[in-house]
Structure 1
Amino acid sequence: MVESSKNVKPWRQDVKFAALAAKPTGWDTTPAMALSVVFKFQRPASHLGKNGLRPSAPQHCTSARNGDIEKLARSTNDALTGVLFDDDRQVVTLNATKRYCVEGEQPGAIITLTALTTNS
């Protein structure tokens, strides 16, 4: 597969390194998993005026420059494969959201992975 964005490889590396750093000792990589990702994007300067957010600024993060949510989720899922789970087919629940950063937030992602038990 050929990636269409030059940002995919560095994104995957960043996610992988963050996952390795956050991985608890003894983490089981074999069960089914639920993955939740909130992708946070910096608002373009054109959305801001002298008094803050312009009334005409879009509420939702739908700009083509931010990518489509399926590709964002897939690249994140791929980065976690071999780190927090053995194969991406183990992800049986996926919740993904794109939004603009709120004041004081940095662009990036909030990634939550939950190992599912037989009672989940």
Structure 2
Amino acid sequence: MGRCIHFVVHGQPATQGSKRSVPIYSKGKPVIKKGRVITRVIDDNPKVVQWKQQVAYFAAQALDEANINEMFSGAIFLRLVFQRPRPKSHYGTGRNARRLKSSAPPHPTTKPDLLKLARAVEDALSGVVYRDDAQIVKECLKKKYGPHFAVDVTIMEIDGCDSECVDVEVNRESDQEARPKIS
């Protein structure tokens, strides 16, 4: 098994959705060069820039703590576990206000989309932990309920033997959570 780092970023994750091209204006008119309108690409989600900076900061800290001075250059295994608090509607009322309803779903199946959450983290790690997110050859993604918003990140360089990666994935996923009762 190659080098590995682990860190947690607390806070509400932002999604990396679509990007769109918008014209660049000068004096109220679009800038035109060689007969074409000059554009710039922006993210549809304005919160994603700050989120990606936060992820990159904690990734750089994790690299420093692990005494890793260069980016991962080989194949990458990436594990991302996004957690979010349960909505109040999952709990009872009155004297049962702290009890989880039996009808409450065990997993978050509402937006945001798991792949869009992962895309933002993958992009944030590019140029910090690894050169390009194309190096990711195996990924384990999960959304779950927890006490607050956060993402738990594990990045591992895989050297040759894929079975080690599978063992890590199975061991990490064996932590089946019981439905919590808050007291």
Common fold by TM > 0.5 = yes
Q: Tell me the number of residue pairs that the alignment of Structure 1 and Structure 2 aligns.
A: 115
Of residues 56, 66, 69 in structure 1, which corresponds to 2:103?
56
Displacement of 1:10 after TM fit?
Answer: 2.3
Of residues 67, 72, 79 in structure 2, which corresponds to 1:25?
67
Task: Say if 2:128 is the partner of 1:79.
Answer: no
Relative to 1, partners in 2 of residues 1:52 and 1:6: Cα closer, same or farther, differing over 3 Å? farther
Task: Report the counterpart of residue 109 of structure 1 in structure 2.
Answer: 151
Of residues 144, 150, 158 in structure 2, which corresponds to 1:99?
144
Give the distance between the partners of 2:90 and 2:49, measured in 1 at CA: 28
1:29-81 Cα distance to aligned partner (Å, 9 max, x none): 211100010000111122122142122222110112xx101101111100110
Give the distance between the partners of 2:60 and 2:122, measured in 1 at CA: 14
**Identical amino acids, percent of aligned pairs:** 33
Contiguous gaps of at least 5 residues in structure 1: none
Give the distance between the partners of 1:74 and 1:35, measured in 2 at CA: 12
Which stretch shows the higher mean deviation, 8-17 or 85-94?
Answer: 8-17
Displacement of 1:118 after TM fit?
Answer: 2.3
Contiguous gaps of at least 5 residues in structure 2: 1-18, 21-42, 163-183
State the TM-score, normalized to the length of structure 1. Answer: 0.85
Structure with the bigger RCO (C-alpha within 8 Å, sep 6+) is 1
Rg: which structure is higher? 2
Displacement of 1:112 after TM fit?
Answer: 0.6
